[in-house]
Amino acid sequence: MDLGIEGKVAIVSGASRGIGLAIAHGLAKEGCRLLVCARGQESLDAAVDALKVYGTDVHGLALDVTHPDAGQTLAARAQDLYGGIDILVANAGGNRRGQFEETTDQDWEDILELNLKSHLRTARAVIPSLKDSESGSIIFISSIFGREAGGAGLSIYNTTKSALISAAKIMAIELGKYGVRVNSVAPGSIRFEGGSWDRRCKEDPEGMKQFIADNIPLGRFGSAEEVADVVTFLSSPRASWVSGACITVDGVQSHSLI
């Protein structure tokens, strides 16, 4: 299937490793021109070098997405480099576990910034350019725990990931008349070298085998590439009638019917 995104300009946040890096590979393979970001310069440089293998333009910008100016900085850089923006994949994110009673205002503020507010600011910064695109698309990387309860210790993560899905839906309604689609993707447990599930598998292989047997009907962890394939499709005009949706990529791990 030709996705029709060759030459499109995409920003991917949190793209130096894991799911974000796989998404950047997915888009670059299809010929998108990329601006990727992460905080660490060295790993970002390595990612940019690896992404250049597809022969398309790739630039990196080391920044912290939680900085109040980061969204504007990314949008301005993409505009300078490529003259417009077609796709935003807001992927950077993290977790801070803890019983709700023990969480602090600072814990909430930090993860709200990282998982939600940074993405809203970046989306606001790129929307004017996406309105000028023939096929503007925003994708928020949420989680199955934005769609249903993740369990004890996950109040902050669950809240921020649910909020992202809600925001995407309302943005999709508002931006529909400009032809801009807004979707979210909800991965289940995704294993990649150096990621949190990989670490847990190495620390406790038997426990993780049991976790899979108990929780993932398809019988294994997902890969970052499996998330990237869905995001790449969603970002393309081949998904032209998909907006305001939250798509799970989880091997049937989640239980929600909606």
Ligand X SMILES: NC(=O)c1ccc[n+]([C@@H]2O[C@H](COP(=O)([O-])OP(=O)(O)OC[C@H]3O[C@@H](n4cnc5c(N)ncnc54)[C@H](OP(=O)(O)O)[C@@H]3O)[C@@H](O)[C@H]2O)c1
Range 119-148, binding ligand X (CB under 6 A): 141, 143
Range 198-257, binding ligand X (CB under 6 A): none
Helix count and strand count (H, E) for the chain: 9, 7
- x-or-dash string of contact with ligand X, 80-119, rule CB under 6 A: -----------xxxx-------------------x-----
Smaller CB separation from ligand X, 11 or 239: 11
Range 42-61, binding ligand X (CB under 6 A): 43
Would you give the end-to-end CA distance of the chain in angstroms?
28
Among 16, 235, 236, 248, binds ligand X (CB under 6 A): 16
Smaller CB separation from ligand X, 15 or 154: 15
Q: 61: helix, coil or strand? A: strand
21 close to 95: Cβ distance less than 8 angstroms: no
54 in active site: no
Among 17, 25, 96, 121, binds ligand X (CB under 6 A): 17
Indicate the DSSP class of residue 21.
Answer: H
Smaller CB separation from ligand X, 16 or 243: 16
Spell out a b/e string for 77-94, using b for 16 or more CB atoms within 10 Å of the CB, else e: bbbebbebbbbbbbbbbe
Tokens read off for 192: 């990649």
Q: 196: helix, coil or strand? A: helix
Chain contacts with ligand X (rule: CB under 6 A): 13-20, 37-40, 43, 64-66, 91-94, 114, 141, 143, 187, 189-190, 195, 197
> Which residues are catalytically annotated?
157
